[in-house]
Amino acid sequence: MHRANPCCWSIGVMVLSLVGCATAAPPQTQKVQTVNLSGDVKLEPKTYTNTQFVIKQSNTHLDCQNALIDGGGVVLTGLRIVSDGSAPLNNVTVKNCRFRNFDTSGIRIYFQGNDTVKLQYSMDERYRLAPQQVKITNVVIEDTAKSGLYVDDYVQDVVLDGLTVRRAGGTGVYLEHHSRRTTIQNSTFEQNGFRDGGKPVREAIAIDSSMYNTIRNNVFRANAKGGVFLYKNCGERFSTGKAVLRTYEASFNLIENNRFIDMPTGVWLASRQSKKLDKWDCGDTPLDETGTYFQDYARNNTVQGNTFCNIAKPVIIEDNDNKIVRNRYANAKQMFAEITHPPRAKVLGQKVTGTVLEANTEDAGSCRMQ
Residues 80-139 pLDDT 10s:
999 999 999 999 999 999 999 999 999 999 999 999 999 999 999 999 999 999 999 999
Regarding pTM above 0.85, the answer is yes
Query: What are the tens digits of pLDDT across the range 59-95?
Result: 999 999 999 999 999 999 999 999 999 999 999 999 9
> 157 burial class (0-12, 13-18, 19+ CB within 10 angstroms)?
middle
Nearest to 220 by CA among 267, 175, 160, 182: 267
β-bridge partners, 160: 136, 184
Quote the DSSP letter at residue 258.
-
Rounded Cα distance, 204 and 224, in Å: 8
How would residue 191 be classed by pLDDT, with cut points 50, 70 and 90? very high
Query: What are the tens digits of pLDDT across the range 19-48?
Result: 433 333 334 456 899 999 999 999 999 999
**pLDDT > 70: what percent of the chain?**
91
Whether residue 13 has pLDDT greater than 90: no
DSSP three-state, residue 305: coil
Whether residue 11 has pLDDT greater than 50: no
**φ, ψ (nearest 5 deg) of residue 54:** -135, 130
Rounded Cα distance, 262 and 133, in Å: 34
Query: What are the tens digits of pLDDT across the range 304-347?
Result: 999 999 999 999 999 999 999 999 999 887 789 999 877 888 88
**φ, ψ (nearest 5 deg) of residue 110:** -160, 165
CA distances to 81, 113, 128 from 242, in Å: 22, 10, 22
